[in-house]
Amino acid sequence: MINLTIDNKKITAKKNQTILEVALENDIYIPNLCYHPDLKKETSCRLCIVEIEGRQGVSTACNTVILDGMKVKTKTEKLQNHRKNLIWLTLSELPKDIPPNSQLKKVVDYIGVKKILSNYAPQEKNLPVLDNEPLIVRDMNKCILCGRCVNICQEVRETGVIGFANRGIDSVIATAEDKPLAESGCKFCLACVEVCPSGALTDVLSRQFDEDNEVEREKTLVPCKGSCPAGTNAAYYVRLIAEGKYQDAYEVNKEISPLVEVLGRVCFHPCETECKRNDVTDPISIRALKRFVAEKDNGRWKDKLKITADTNKKVAIIGSGPAGLTAGWFLRTKGHSVTIFEADEKAGGMMRTAIPKYRLPRRILDNEIKEIENIGVKIETNSRITYPDKLLKKDFDAVYIAIGTSGVMKMRVPGVDHKNVLDGLSLLAKINNDEKIDIGKKVGIVGGGNVAMDVARCLLREGIDTTVIYRRSREQMPATDEEIKEAMNEGVNFKFLNNPIEIKDSKKEDKLDVKCIKMKLGEPDSSGRKRPIPIEGSEYTWELDKLVMAIGQKSEVPKEYGLELDKWNNIQTDDNLLTNKDGIFAGGDVVSGPASVIDAINYGRIGAKSIDKYLGGDGNIDQNFVEKDEPNISLGRDMKFADRKRKPVKTIPLKDREHNYKEVELNFEESVARSEANRCLTCQLRLGISKAPFPPKKFDKNKNV
């Protein structure tokens, strides 16, 4: 250990530490701008100068190693004056609008600005602002040449995209030959942005966030994880796949939910929508990667699965959709006895009744449900529960209602109750239950969501001439892009910007005359999408055998439940999903309104936590299947990185899809999965970068420098 004094304060510190490190650890702030705890010492800003007894002149604290008996002064009048002059010089070439939250601004405020030359106008560099590149805005007029971005890019990430160009007063940080970042091997890890103290390198506007809000910060910086309703760490498992650790990658998913393989087939993947790689080329194929690892699962996690000793508490879950199954899974791991009551013949809810088999082969669903049963969750099918209160009175300690949304939305047009107007969900349920359907040869489907696509593609497989009619244009369709593409590919017809306005019997027997009107797009509505407006006089009649409504679902909560509902008929709960009745919780679509599998899974998780706590548990449902490792922070050079396009998921040929429900999508080959995972921008690495030491928030302006 080394004994020294800094500003007369006696300090004992570890060997080989620098004065700045020791000072900061002991709450003595020494101004600095080019220093960063993760980087080599650049010593370019010169602000951390100190005086050391017995040494001539000044020394920079960031790179001076402490010695026994050293006496350091950090705030003498001389140092104060030098710092003020250095700040004056730094500002003398910067625009006036230094970002208010930047380290530079804070340091300037801390040191104070001296008036040296009256009426001095800064000599700005007048460099072009590079704001047309992916993810990063480069405004080198604001650059103070501290070198942190260069150091992290060259020495830590080892990508070597940016460096110093020119010299002296003309020095500038640039790519080789001033080429765009994408052509310079940039991996868009944004480490440069993270370490920039002056606002010269910033995230593009849409990615800006409140620096002080850690949760929001992480959500914005790692949007794949941030956008997942259940908080699945996609960044982490994509990295594990890139490293070839497939089982680990699978288990990262398994920690979040029991339905990994299902999600690998059907998740609507907001992670991909938000993936930052969108701004460079196209997003990482995260869902397909999840499927890839799910198919490789060797069950290693089963040995690690923690199941708490029996609590002798009983939980009843009504509904075996993703919310119910997930809640059941986690409640069981907390030692509770769980029974899921399912009204249908088989468990799975909408996953079984609504999702076509060509998207989700039933063996996958069956397997994952089996795993849930294997840990002791009981599933009672053909059991419709009418009075949840009675379950409580009988022998259950808590009830979780996850009955989904079985009600169907109806268009408000004349003739909508015609017998030849069908609802999409019922139709899908029949098809998925292998029931024969006889609905004619020509069918129209109203709607633009995934249910509409599912119905259309199923009907096509039944040999029916199928047309989707949608009142907005393709761009506004809520269905996922791959669903729309496949529907078109398979031969579904589309009538965009068309809307039925009246349904009646046709003169021909057993046919419908659907009166439609053409639409145009107006100003955006409350959903942000352009409002469709009917074009007067464009009405026409469309002759069909059947018209299928697939415009949405709604909750239908039995009155007997006696629960408080909101204006959309969803069950009202508090943040812990507790209803107005003690012991009765609810979650999933019946609370949120129609949403996705992954949303329902999140409700299942929250429900499990709340019910566990309600039953006296700690509410902690975390599983630790994977030992956390440190990521490699070096990315290396790859000049073609930015160009690499998303690897398409292969599908079976069209002719193989006719009149059957064979799974359409094929799994990634291993090499494809690896290289797809390697396209990841590794946004999460940015979270591992240390914070630069800012000046104390409160300081005495007259005393400090």
The minimum distance between CB 602 and other proteins, in angstroms, equals: 50
Residue carrying structure tokens 């002719």 = 655
Name the one range near other proteins by CB under 8 A: 61-69, 314-322, 417-425, 434-442. Answer: 61-69
Q: Is 43 in the site for other proteins (CB under 8 A)?
A: yes
Fill in the DSSP letter of residue 565: B
Q: Which helix (H) or strand (E) holds 60?
A: strand 59-60
Interface mask (CB under 8 A) for other proteins, residues 121-140, using x and -?
--x-----------------
Nearest residue (CB) to other proteins, 83 versus 269:
83
- Compute the distance between CA of residue 322 and CA of residue 589 in angstroms, rounded to an integer: 10
From 4, 31, 52, 60, residue interacting with other proteins (rule: CB under 8 A)? 60
Q: Which helix (H) or strand (E) holds 521?
A: strand 512-524
Q: Is 58 in the site for other proteins (CB under 8 A)?
A: yes
Nearest alpha carbon to residue 704 among 26, 21, 28: 28
Question: How many Cβ atoms from other residues are within 10 Å of residue 395's Cβ?
Answer: 10
Nearest alpha carbon to residue 105 among 196, 231, 207: 196
Question: Which one-letter amino acid corresponds to residue 55?
Answer: R
Name the one range near other proteins by CB under 8 A: 41-49, 241-249, 418-426, 536-544. Answer: 41-49
Nearest residue (CB) to other proteins, 58 versus 130:
58
Start-to-end C-alpha separation, the chain: 29
Distances (CA, A) of 71 to 3, 4, 23, 124: 10, 6, 12, 40
Name the one range near other proteins by CB under 8 A: 116-124, 279-287, 359-367, 500-508. Answer: 116-124
Interface mask (CB under 8 A) for other proteins, residues 68-87, using x and -?
-------------xx--xx-
Interface mask (CB under 8 A) for other proteins, residues 142-181, using x and -?
--xx-x---------------xx-xxxxxx----------
| Concatenated DSSP letters of 81-121 | HHHHHHHHHHHTTS-S---TTSHHHHHHHHH-----STTPP
Using only C-alpha atoms, what is the Rg of the chain?
Answer: 31
- Compute the distance between CA of residue 200 and CA of residue 31 in angstroms, rounded to an integer: 20
Nearest residue (CB) to other proteins, 12 versus 85:
85
Nearest residue (CB) to other proteins, 3 versus 123:
123
Nearest residue (CB) to other proteins, 4 versus 259:
4
Q: Is 309 in the site for other proteins (CB under 8 A)?
A: no
Nearest residue (CB) to other proteins, 144 versus 234:
144
Q: Which of residues 439-478 bind other proteins (CB under 8 A)?
A: none
Is 422 strand, coil or helix? strand
From 5, 17, 26, 44, residue interacting with other proteins (rule: CB under 8 A)? 44
From 89, 129, 307, 666, residue interacting with other proteins (rule: CB under 8 A)? 89
Could you tell me how many residues of this chain bind other proteins (CB under 8 A)? 36
The minimum distance between CB 147 and other proteins, in angstroms, equals: 8
From 1, 8, 27, 57, residue interacting with other proteins (rule: CB under 8 A)? 57
Nearest residue (CB) to other proteins, 81 versus 101:
81
Question: How many Cβ atoms from other residues are within 10 Å of residue 200's Cβ?
Answer: 26
- Compute the distance between CA of residue 29 and CA of residue 109 in angstroms, rounded to an integer: 14
The minimum distance between CB 45 and other proteins, in angstroms, equals: 6
Nearest residue (CB) to other proteins, 55 versus 508:
55
Q: Percent helix, strand and coil across the chain, each rounded to 5?
A: 35, 15, 50
Q: Are strands 407-408 and 442-446 parallel, antiparallel or unpaired?
A: unpaired
Residue carrying structure tokens 């690892």 = 293
Site residues for other proteins per CB under 8 A: 41-46, 49, 57-58, 60, 63-65, 81-82, 85-86, 89-90, 92-93, 116-118, 123, 144-145, 147, 163-164, 166-171
